[in-house]
Structures are given as structure tokens and as C-alpha cells.
Amino acid sequence: MHIADGILPASACVAAHAVALGAVWLSGRKIEPEEVVRMGLLSSAIFVVSMFHFPLGGTSIHLGLFGVAGILLGWRSFPAVYVSLLFQALLFQHGGLLSLGVNALNMGTGTLAAFLVWRSNWGGESTRSFLAGFAGAMIPSLLMTLEFFFAGYGKGFAVIATLYSAVALIEGAITVFIVTFLRRVKPAVFCATPVAAVESEAARIGA
């Protein structure tokens, strides 16, 4: 799902990076100290899971946990994704520094879409979890496909979206499992703020 340097026009990458940095600033304003730990954990999880690649349709794919990040971090998921992608580019050359902004916008949009799905009233929690996981993986792949198309690489790259539809289904199922597990063992993580989470956990223990 990473776009490497040299594929998209440099001007587009620079513009995307400017937008991505603006999004990082907006979604990272007034971060509470308690939020940093959760953001770091989710950023690390995104970083680690992307290291495991699986062959599919002549290429390789990987999971992203963008749905989980969107559910647990909300708007704070964008900075977490950006930091994870930055370290992936620096340490393993996944993507690149020039294309970092494009990749951050693609995947960060997936996490924000997952958050909006999670906060909606579409069915029960399991349904929203699945749709959040699906959207978190599918939207970045669709954005990447459109970027390749408008960069002049032709319609052949639409196969990326087809392949990642399978990934999105898997992501949806994994997201349901994770949400169900966390709801059972640590329901406080679904509170809107870390302070509320601590208060909820204290109330649960006291009860």
C-alpha cells in the first residue's frame, strides 16, 4: 500500500506533504499527556503489522490495523499513522520521504473514515467494527489507485483495489475480533478521552 518515491510527480508529493503536515497539526492539537501513550501503542502496532507481507495475485500485501486505530484514537489516529510511516521510510525504505505525505494522506484518511463509521449509528457494534476495519483498508487502496491513474499509469492499477478488497475483508474480521476482545477485558479503552477511560476503569474496579 506504500507508494515509493519516483512514481508520482514530485510537485504532487510536495503538495501532499504540505496537506499532511497540516492534518497532523490539526488532529494533534491540545494532546493530553495521557493520550500520548495510547497513540504510541497504536503507532507501534501499525508499524509492526506492516512488516509482515503475504503474497497475493502476483504482489504482496500487508495488514494495517487502520480500522482499529480509528476506533481507539479517533482524530488522533492521523499523527499516529504519520509517525509510523515516517519510521518505516527511514528504517526500511517502505515508501519514501518524498512520498511520505501521499502515503500519510491515504492511510490517515482510512483511519479517519473508520472513526466516522464507528461513531455512526449503523447497526450494532460488531457491524460498525467490521465496516470500520473494511473502510480503513479499502479507502487507502482506492485513493492509491486513483493517484496512479491520474499520474498516467493507466487503468491496470485498478487491480490493486481488487486485491485489497480481500485485505479489507480480513481487516474487517480482525477488527471485530479485537473490538470484541477489548470490550470484554478492557472496556475503558473505548471512552472518548483518556481521563474518562481512567474514571470508567476505576468505577468498574470499584463496582
Please tell me which residue, 3 or 84, carries the higher pLDDT value.
Answer: 84
Residue 49 — pLDDT band, cuts 50, 70, 90? confident
Q: Which domains occur in the chain, in start order? A: 10-206 (1.10.1760.20)
Q: How far apart are CA 78 and CA 26, in angstroms?
A: 10
In this structure, the dihedral spanned by the alpha carbons of residues 136, 138, 169 and 100, taken in order and rounded to 10 degrees, is -60
Specify the pLDDT at position 157.
62
Specify the pLDDT at position 60.
61
3-class DSSP assignment, residue 1:
coil
Summarize pLDDT for 127-162 with one digit per residue, the tens. Answer: 999 999 999 999 998 888 888 877 777 665 667 667
Count other Cβ atoms within 10 Å, centred on residue 23.
Answer: 21
Summarize pLDDT for 163-199 with one digit per residue, the tens. Answer: 778 889 999 999 999 999 999 998 888 865 444 444 4
Is residue 198 within a helix (H) or strand (E), and if so which, with residue range?
helix 194-206
